[in-house]
Structure 1
Amino acid sequence: MKTHQIEIQKFKAAANNLQGQVVFKIDTLVSPRTPIDGIEPSSLLIMTEQNARVLMALLKTQIAEFDSKKPKSRHGRHG
């Protein structure tokens, strides 16, 4: 597996696709990352607080769109 450091520069758009996925159009800086010995290799996703807030707002919107397409129950939920 290749590992990378992915730095979000800007979120440009978000949408839901027909496969039930959220797709983001983003500007990024991507650079290879060498795993540290003894630690499972992982890629890093890095963003500023401002971009994290944008991501949260975009996710909230896309999840609401998913929820609006789900069939509504007539009986409600029973706890």
Structure 2
Amino acid sequence: MKTHQIEIQKFKAASNTNNGLVMFKVDALVSPKQALDGIEPSSIISLTEANARVLMALLKTQIAEFDAKKPKSRHGRHG
């Protein structure tokens, strides 16, 4: 597995697909990241507080769109 350091510069757009994926169009700096000895290799995504707030707003919108596509009989009912 290749690992990367991904620094989000700007969120440009968000959308979702019929099969449950949320897609983001972003400007990002991506560079290879060396695994540290004894630590499981992982890619790292970093973003500013401002971009984190944008991400939260975009996610809320996309989740609302998923919910709007669900049949009404599934909303708010348990068991």
TM-score (norm 1): 0.93
**2:67 matched residue in structure 1:** 67
1:21 corresponds in structure 2 to: 21
| Aligned structure 1 segments of 4 or more residues deviating by more than 3 angstroms | none
> Which sections of structure 2, spanning at least 5 residues, go unmatched?
none
**CA gap 1:34/1:54 in 2 versus in 1, 3 angstroms:** same
Letter aligned with residue 53 of structure 2? R
Residue number in structure 2 paired with 1:11: 11
Name whichever of 63-72 and 12-21 sits farther off. Answer: 12-21
- Equivalenced residues, count: 79
Select between 14-23 and 26-35 the one with higher mean Cα deviation: 14-23
Amino acid at match of 1:53: R
Give unmatched runs, 5+ long, in structure 1: none
Gap change, CA 1:78 and 1:28, over 3 Å in 2: closer
